[in-house]
Amino acid sequence: MMKKLGMVITCLAMILLLVSCANKRKDLVLSNFPSIQNELTEKDLIKAVGAPHEKSSSLSDVTQLYEKLLKMDLSSSESILSQKSNWTVGINGIITDYYVYKLKDGKSVIVFLSKGKVVAITRKGIDYN
């Protein structure tokens, strides 16, 4: 009886692991990401590059990361963030989520969403912890 219970628990754990890893690509490069200037939705993004490796809907997490990237953007000689041209934080809404995609070179692409639409994305891979 204990062996069967152990087998069932092991199988359930393996199924959960497989489901959590499903649709997360490990071969991503920056050119896989579509342009955000068109109406790019969350579904379109996931269809193009798969499920994110990490995501958050916490307003404080989203705000802190966006602020950090804006500071990096201002201090850099080249722009880090590509924002939808007709969208401004506060005027058009708030950022509700962010997704982190790990690139195969070890860098990350961060995507910001507002109500299911992509509004900003990093232009290049960045170091993200």
Instruction: Identify whether 69 is part of a domain.
Output: yes
Q: How high is the pLDDT of residue 88?
A: 64
Q: Kindly state whether residue 49 falls inside one of the protein's structural domains.
A: yes
Cα-based angle 33, 74, 106 (whole degrees, multiple of 5):
40
CATH number where 67 lies: 3.30.1450
User: Residue 64 has what pLDDT?
Assistant: 92
DSSP state letters, 12-66: HHHHHHHHHHTTB-SS--GGGSPPSSS--BHHHHHHHHBS-SEEE--HHHHHHHH
Counting the structural domains of the chain, the total is 1
What's the confidence (pLDDT) of residue 14?
64
Query: What average pLDDT values come out for the chain (129 residues) when binned by 10 residues?
Result: 74 58 73 85 93 93 89 81 72 84 93 91 86
- Residue 128 forms part of a structural domain: no
- Answer yes or no: is 30 within a domain: yes
pLDDT score recorded for residue 77: 79
Stated pTM of the model:
0.76
Nearest C-alpha neighbor of 54 from the set 123, 109, 126, 114: 109
Instruction: Answer yes or no: are the C-beta atoms of 95 and 68 closer than 8 Å.
Output: no
Structural domain that includes position 106: 26-122
* 99 falls within a domain: yes
Identify the pLDDT of residue 47: 93
- Can you give the pLDDT at residue 17? 52
What per-residue confidence (pLDDT) applies to 12? 67
pLDDT of residue 26: 76
